[in-house]
Amino acid sequence: MDDVDRTIIAHLSQDARISLAVLARRMKVARSTIQARLERLETTGVIAGYTIRLGETARTSRIRASVLLAIEPRSQAGILSRLKAIAQIERIHTTSGRIDLLLHLSTNSTAELDEVLDRISVIEGVRSLESLVHLSTRLDRAV
């Protein structure tokens, strides 16, 4: 990846719907150059897909939480397969330190959140669970 590729990615991170023509004009390069670069970035897996990022207005009706899990040694594979089946879990990260997994959840209500937490807590190999309900977003630099 060079500076042109990084600039393309930066523009797409701000607006994934930007047209090739507009992107080419902003970058002062040929449209065919942008198209070839995008195809290469997609083929090599640098760009895995295009998506939307919901604004605060769309997220305010959702209950969001982070869940910290400590798990039994050598139980991660089984736990991950069970967690992936829970639709309300948006992201799962492995971590270092006393916590083994960090989950990001989004539900329609506190009752639904409570039900999901109960489902997670009874998965074989889960030693402890701590949930942190998100109240408001003060900064979001996620791409």
| Domain 3-43 class, CATH top level | mainly alpha
- Alpha-carbon distance of 7 to 27, in angstroms, equals 8
Q: Cβ(88)–Cβ(116) under 8 Å?
A: yes
Alpha carbon 113 to its chain centroid, in Å, reads 19
Give dist(CA 80, CA 93) in Å, integer: 10
- For domain 56-133, the CATH class is alpha beta
Which positions ≥6 away from 95 have C-beta within 8 Å? 101, 102
β-pair partners for 103: 67, 92
What is the Cβ-side half-sphere exposure of residue 46, based on CA atoms within 13 angstroms?
Answer: 15
The amino acid present at 28, given as its one-letter code, is: K
Q: Which of 132, 139, 111, 137 is nearest to 59 (CA)?
A: 137
Annotated domain spans of the chain: 3-43, 56-133
pTM exceeds 0.75:
no
Asked if pLDDT for residue 143 goes beyond 60, the answer is no
pLDDT band at 50 (very low <50, low <70, confident <90, very high): confident
Using CA atoms, how far residue 110 sits from 30, 61, 64, 68, 104, in Å, is: 51, 11, 9, 18, 15
**78-131 confidence digits (pLDDT tens):** 999 999 999 999 999 999 999 999 999 999 999 999 999 999 999 999 999 999
